[in-house]
């Protein structure tokens, strides 16, 4: 088994945290999909990371599929609840966190275009998604310690990767002051070894 990923990808970080939490040994092959010589399309026709190559040569993508597979192949530290209502709630958290991350990635890619080609209205639209998403996460978390209200789960991993990516790419966004409960959650998550070991490299 091998993970093809970028060290700066928040989606790959989610998978790497799951691997660490579940104590699954899996080598990482770094590949940037934007590089001209990227081999990612050979593993994933959509040209995105992360991709998990299995021992038989087949591949899994995207991160949501990969983390479900990983959670099922090892009984260690189950991250997806077995009871249906809690499972759906955890998946909802993951969808919300990934959606905010999608909007943030869209802004990063748009800002890499020449200044005269960028669309401010597109960037503003994505920023609105981020703002609404953070407000929804904050409201849903309320005073609970963990996202699903029970224990540490994939919901917390997804939210932690989302908030970490905002810090990584948009340090000027002051989301902590507006949502102190999310800040407290990230602070707790940031003490976990799996989060420490998967911090993106400084750019």
pTM, entire model? 0.96
- Looking at residue 136, which CATH number applies to its domain? 1.20.1050.10
Are 90 and 182 within one domain? yes
Are 17 and 48 within one domain? yes
Tokens at 202, concatenated: 């400084």
Tell me the Ramachandran region of residue 144: left when phi exceeds 0, alpha when psi lies from -120 to 50, beta otherwise.
beta
Whether 141 is covered by a domain: the verdict is yes
- Looking at residue 49, which CATH number applies to its domain? 3.40.30.10
pLDDT in tens, 31-50: 999 999 999 999 999 999 99
Whether 179 is covered by a domain: the verdict is yes
Are 142 and 67 within one domain? no
Write down the residue that tokens 């790959």 correspond to.
12
Domain span at 168: 84-192
pLDDT in tens, 56-78: 999 999 999 999 999 999 988 99
Whether 55 is covered by a domain: the verdict is yes
* Three-class DSSP category at 183: helix
Burial of 141 (0-12, 13-18, 19+ CB in 10 A): buried
Task: Provide the domain count of the chain.
Answer: 2
pLDDT in tens, 156-197: 999 999 999 999 999 988 999 999 999 999 999 999 999 999
Are 66 and 90 within one domain? no
Whether 79 is covered by a domain: the verdict is no
Residues of the chain with pLDDT > 70, as a percent, come to 100
Average pLDDT over the chain reads 96
Are 48 and 100 within one domain? no
pLDDT, average across residues 2-17:
98
């Amino acid at each position: 088994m091998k993970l093809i990923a970028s060290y700066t990808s928040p989606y790959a970080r989610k998978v790497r945290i799951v691997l660490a939490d579940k104590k699954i040994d899996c080598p990482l092959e770094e590949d940037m999909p934007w590089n001209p010589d990227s081999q990612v399309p050979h593993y994933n026709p959509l040209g995105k990371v992360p991709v998990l190559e299995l021992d038989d040569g087949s591949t899994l993508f995207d991160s949501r599929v990969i983390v479900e597979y990983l959670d099922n192949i090892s009984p260690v530290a189950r991250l997806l609840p077995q009871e249906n209502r809690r499972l759906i709630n955890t998946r909802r958290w993951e969808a919300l966190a990934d959606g905010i991350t999608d909007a943030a990635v869209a802004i990063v890619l748009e800002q890499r275009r020449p200044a005269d080609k960028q669309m401010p209205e597109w960037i503003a639209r994505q920023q609105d998604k981020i703002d609404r998403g953070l407000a929804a996460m904050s409201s849903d978390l309320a005073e609970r310690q963990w996202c699903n209200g029970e224990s540490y789960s994939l919901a917390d991993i997804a939210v932690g990767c989302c908030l970490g990516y905002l810090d990584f790419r948009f340090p000027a966004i002051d989301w902590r002051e507006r949502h102190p409960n999310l800040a407290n959650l990230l602070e707790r998550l940031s003490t976990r070894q799996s989060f420490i070991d998967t911090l993106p490299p400084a750019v």
